[in-house]
Structure 1
Amino acid sequence: MRKSFLFTILFVFCGSLWAQTQLFYNQMGYKPEQQKIILANKARFDSIYVYNSKGSLQGVFPLAPKAFWDAARDSVRAIDLSAIKDTGTYRLTFPMSSQSYHLRISNNPLQTVTDAALKFFYYQRAGEALPEKYAGKWHRPAGHPDTLVYMHPSSGEKGTMSSAKGWYDAGDYGKYIVNSGITTYTLLTLWEEQSEKFKKRRWNIPESTLPDLLAETRYNLDWMLTMQSKDGGVYHKMTALNFCGSIMPHEDTDKRYVIGKSTTAAMNFAAVMAYASRVYAPFDAKYSQTMLAAAKKAYDWGLENPRIIYHQPGDVQTGQYSDQDPKDEIFWASAEMLLATQDTKGPYMKQLQLLQAPIRIPSWQMVNALGYYTMARHPKIFGSLGARAQELIVAKADELVKVSQQNPYGISLDNGDFVWGSNSVVANFAIAMVQAHRIKPKAEYLQYAHRHLDYLLGQNPLGLSYVTGMGFRSVLNPHHRPSEADGIDAPVPGMLAGGPHDGGHDISEPHNPVPWQCKEYRVIGFPAMSFIDHRCSYATNEVAINWNAPLGYLSASLE
């Protein structure tokens, strides 16, 4: 990357001069019938003028009173433009001001977002060259064939093995089973719920007999299958011993290792393989049977070894994805196994009954909601548990709506939700509302799901689209090695940056600076402002497969 674009907060008092008004809204636009709430920051006036594409005055719209959000230590004023329903590009300006913004209304403003978010996985392929025909200016040679990887002592085995294909997990070049779990599940769910849409949907990846969504997902499933040991257990990850620098995949020639085993890896694997066996059965019966057999072996191993926790070996510095409590993984895997096998009398139902717990919004380390989502989509086979799952999802969505109604930005985050990957929290909150809408249709669920996506696409306190290449002011310098090293100004498009939080994991100590770490960028106590668009920030500006999957799912669901 050549550009350096740092987003910082500047507070300037210049006598009688007013700070410029900022408008925050979805930079990709809105559908004609959609609610269109835009937000004004530092507004000097009580109304805004809207002109249509012909230059005629469309209307004068009032600004609501100020509403304060403590996570951003600032106030905004809402402007409701929902009455504007004709497609076109509109110019928004304030009285006696030369400053203007442009807002787009179109029939499908999100298709570009969906396609880019899903094509991201193609750009993350390991072991495969990306030719210009498919990758455009982001074409690159193949890297990490992984046909000869070494068994780390923590794997309990010796020698070498082949572990080809799969997706690079994030901004680095590792491949991790645990994070592949929730990612692959989300893409399989997108197919299960919207297969008609995706049967012919294409985003220019190498041709396959499968629809693009399933072809891309299979590329990762093929790798996951290589990670199962003969005893049924599943290796935790496949990485080098340390992260490499900002180099292209083919330039990274460090030895790579299969590292560790864990209960969480086994149960993530079992859940995904069981689910995938259902999805791929109409396309490839033999492949489906292979995955179901692998799922059974992994599930049985996990029940026999319910507390094998991954601990990072002393010589390994790559991502840990260590989870101290595998019960939610066992719960989710049990739901998928029961549905795939149709066995309601075996261990699966027993585990589901035993491990019921309050539903938690999903993340890589908390996946019980995925089990509930599956049961809610298939209530008949799960009986009373299916009905209970539906009740829990609707109750959770109602809770999220209530919080969103109190937030000036229309989202359900409070200060405690600004964690590493906070933007994926936003997306997964919205997905919970989409799931509830499928169970019990309610306009508010989709209304606030849209507001969460609006936040990701520019309606946030920084006025920044957190999705690369989407919008007029989007992330330019993600922590993503190919985008850092390819010599191209624009990053790979469609990547969701992790998002703001004030953990400061990537900040160098002033008295002992580290060249590749960030200088202080946080606004302590105001996490919504603690973000920097610089490649140094792996804490706020990295990308990851488990963040892009919910972005793709959410955008597709709201198209």
Structure 2
Amino acid sequence: MSLSLSFSLLFLLLSVTASLPHSHSFSAQHHQPHFATHNYRDALTKSIIFFEGQRSGKLPSNQRMSWRRDSGLSDGSTMHVDLVGGYYDAGDNIKFGFPMAFTTTMLSWSVLEFGGMMKGELPNAREAIRWATDYLLKATAYPDTIYVQVGDAKKDHACWERPEDMDTPRNAYKIDRNNPGSDVAGETAAALAAASLAFRRTDPAYSKILVRRAIRVFQFADKYRGSYSNGLKPIVCPFYCSYSGYQDELLWGAAWLHKATKNPKYLNYIKVNGQILGAAEFDNTFGWDNKHVGARILLSKDFLVKKMQTLHDYKGHADNFICSVIPGVSSSSYTPGGLLFKMSDTNMQYVTSTSFLLVTYAKYLTKAHTVVHCGGTTITPKMLRSIAKKQVDYLLGDNPLKMSYMVGYGPRFPQRIHHRGSSLPSIGVHPGKIQCSEGFSVMNSQSPNPNVLVGAVVGGPDQHDMFPDERSDYEQSEPATYINAPLVGALAYLAHSFGQL
């Protein structure tokens, strides 16, 4: 959706650097490098606690989101496999493997780039990763098979019930040699490989298990090629259809295995297949479905920092992405209040993923003592960080509505998020079962959610900076794990750079 470029964000960029054409005088208070408008440390803590609210399975004794209880304890039993655990992706009670794997990859990447800045939150971030990887190990326990979904989404969506009360079918769906899914398999391999790096120092035995499984899963993804949306279309579509194809996940998976194993065969795979797999050079959307940009940024690090000449082209591709989001230089759309706007459904996922990529690429550029050239405009690492900070600050409350889009952060935040467990009375308050359709009276009411899903980031405002805070409006009011995962890294960077950690 193309919108006219906001003048306010154009002004932001002009105030950040004198290297842009034209000269204006602006208030620079938001762009001072050591001026923090927000408590990023508090936001970081909350962004990680959120994952505890999304847990499925048997909850541990140290569970901090105490209104949640055990759920999905027989998951997988219909197929005689153990699929207990993992995360509900958003406000419903389905376990979708594709976005769960992407969430895991991004949490791991956040820890790899910024874990050293997280201080006391680092163990919590690793716990969030492990809750996912323990499940992904179960889902990939059998060779050439991955269980990619638990639950019938259509029947689940016909109910409004707590995960603890689920009585909808918990069918388990898989991909295998006959029904391949290189997209979800490639992302699962990426998740396991990235997580193996996150645990390499603290739990080397677990790290080895993860990387061995990643190798096996990637072989399956590459050997039996196809999109999981083909064989499982009635099950996974329209919820998590793979729209971008599977080539991006093969490149992404290979990039993470190259990092995790240092085996030259993955670098060779990228060299031989990279042009074909990464063909969508100007596709500049990064999220649970499309990994092209993430792979480019990740691979550019080895060129920038380690001088691997075979990856030279990825620096150029990464620069193209950077130029595509620079206000005043690019064709990217921003709201009048300055928020990057990609699409009306869950737009905040693109805000958080882009912010993460900006601070991460800024880190690589700084190490390499280089910059990005967008036409005649020089873009410095400092500018990238400033743009990322502006996006995160908007999310946390610097916006026309003065509303934080993170639940539980700041004085004003969404009260009626599209989330079953948050909206219905907890088991501690209401021990009796709430039947499938009973909950709709709550879903359709104007009453605030009784259980605060701390740290949840919702889909966010529309292209005019408006947010109705309606529970039924899932496009704007539903949180998701893949919105939070990249934000963890961006917040860790900001908290550290402003001396809060």
1:364 alignment partner in structure 2: 288
Structure 1 residues 403 and 144: alpha-carbon distance in aligned structure 2, compared to 1, 3 A threshold:
farther
**What is the TM-score with the length of structure 1 in the denominator?**
0.68
The AA in structure 2 aligned to 1:433 is: L
Alignment of 1:496-515 (within 5 A): 496-501=457-462
After superposition, the C-alpha distances for 1:441-487 in whole angstroms (9 at most, x for unaligned) are 43211111111112212233443221112222211110011111136
1:425 alignment partner in structure 2: 350
1:181 alignment partner in structure 2: 101
1:192 alignment partner in structure 2: 112
Cα distance in 2 for partners of 1:407, 1:323 equals 26
1:226 alignment partner in structure 2: 138
2:252 alignment partner in structure 1: 332
2:128 alignment partner in structure 1: 216
Q: CA RMSD in A?
A: 3.4
Matched residues, number: 426
The AA in structure 1 aligned to 2:454 is: P
Are 1:135 and 2:60 counterparts? no
**What is the TM-score with the length of structure 2 in the denominator?**
0.76
Structure 1 residue 433: deviation in Å? 1.9
Secondary structure at the residue paired with 1:234? strand
1:449 alignment partner in structure 2: 388
1:149 alignment partner in structure 2: 77
Cα distance in 2 for partners of 1:130, 1:233 equals 29
Higher RCO (C-alpha under 8 Å, 6+ residues apart): 2
Cα distance in 2 for partners of 1:83, 1:286 equals 44
Alignment of 1:61-100 (within 5 A): 81=29
Structure 1 residue 170: deviation in Å? 0.5
**Contact 2:348–2:483 (8 Å) recurs in 1:** yes
Structure 1 residue 291: deviation in Å? 1.8
Cα distance in 2 for partners of 1:217, 1:80 equals 38
Cα distance in 1 for partners of 2:60, 2:138 equals 22
2:483 alignment partner in structure 1: 547
Structure 1 residue 219: deviation in Å? 0.9
2:163 alignment partner in structure 1: 249
Q: Which runs of 5+ in 1 are unaligned?
A: 1-23, 26-33, 38-77, 88-104, 151-158, 203-210, 502-526
Structure 1 residues 418 and 84: alpha-carbon distance in aligned structure 2, compared to 1, 3 A threshold:
closer
**Contact 2:105–2:192 (8 Å) recurs in 1:** no
Cα distance in 1 for partners of 2:288, 2:262 equals 26
Alignment of 1:318-467 (within 5 A): 320-324=239-243, 325-345=245-265, 348-349=269-270, 350-357=272-279, 358=281, 360-379=284-303, 383-403=308-328, 411=338, 413=340, 417-441=342-366, 442-467=381-406
Structure 1 residues 330 and 162: alpha-carbon distance in aligned structure 2, compared to 1, 3 A threshold:
same
Kindly name which structure, 1 or 2, has the bigger radius of gyration based on alpha carbons: 1
Structure 1 residue 134: deviation in Å? 4.3
**Contact 2:113–2:360 (8 Å) recurs in 1:** no
**Contact 2:337–2:400 (8 Å) recurs in 1:** no
Secondary structure at the residue paired with 1:194? helix
Secondary structure at the residue paired with 1:259? strand
The AA in structure 1 aligned to 2:182 is: T
Are 1:160 and 2:80 counterparts? yes
Structure 1 residue 490: deviation in Å? 5.3
After superposition, the C-alpha distances for 1:156-180 in whole angstroms (9 at most, x for unaligned) are xxx4211121111100111122102
Pick the structure with more strand per residue: 1
Structure 1 residues 344 and 315: alpha-carbon distance in aligned structure 2, compared to 1, 3 A threshold:
closer
Structure 1 residue 316: deviation in Å? 4.6
After superposition, the C-alpha distances for 1:186-231 in whole angstroms (9 at most, x for unaligned) are 11111111232235337xxxxxxxx221122111101011112633
**Contact 1:362–1:428 (8 Å) recurs in 2:** yes
Are 1:259 and 2:180 counterparts? no
**Contact 1:401–1:444 (8 Å) recurs in 2:** no
1:303 alignment partner in structure 2: 222
**Contact 1:477–1:491 (8 Å) recurs in 2:** no
Cα distance in 2 for partners of 1:435, 1:313 equals 35
Percent sequence identity is 20
The AA in structure 1 aligned to 2:455 is: G
Cα distance in 1 for partners of 2:246, 2:80 equals 28
1:481 alignment partner in structure 2: 420
**Contact 2:258–2:264 (8 Å) recurs in 1:** yes
Cα distance in 1 for partners of 2:400, 2:174 equals 41
Pick the structure with more helix per residue: 2
Structure 1 residues 329 and 387: alpha-carbon distance in aligned structure 2, compared to 1, 3 A threshold:
same
Are 1:495 and 2:416 counterparts? no
**Contact 1:404–1:410 (8 Å) recurs in 2:** no
**Contact 2:110–2:486 (8 Å) recurs in 1:** no
2:377 alignment partner in structure 1: none
1:556 alignment partner in structure 2: 492
Structure 1 residue 421: deviation in Å? 1.1
Structure 1 residues 408 and 540: alpha-carbon distance in aligned structure 2, compared to 1, 3 A threshold:
closer
**Contact 1:468–1:492 (8 Å) recurs in 2:** yes
Please identify, of 212-221 and 242-251, the stretch whose mean Cα deviation from structure 2 is larger. 242-251
Structure 1 residues 294 and 397: alpha-carbon distance in aligned structure 2, compared to 1, 3 A threshold:
same
2:211 alignment partner in structure 1: 292
The AA in structure 2 aligned to 1:120 is: F
Cα distance in 2 for partners of 1:475, 1:128 equals 29
**Contact 2:99–2:288 (8 Å) recurs in 1:** yes
The AA in structure 2 aligned to 1:299 is: F
**Contact 2:229–2:237 (8 Å) recurs in 1:** no
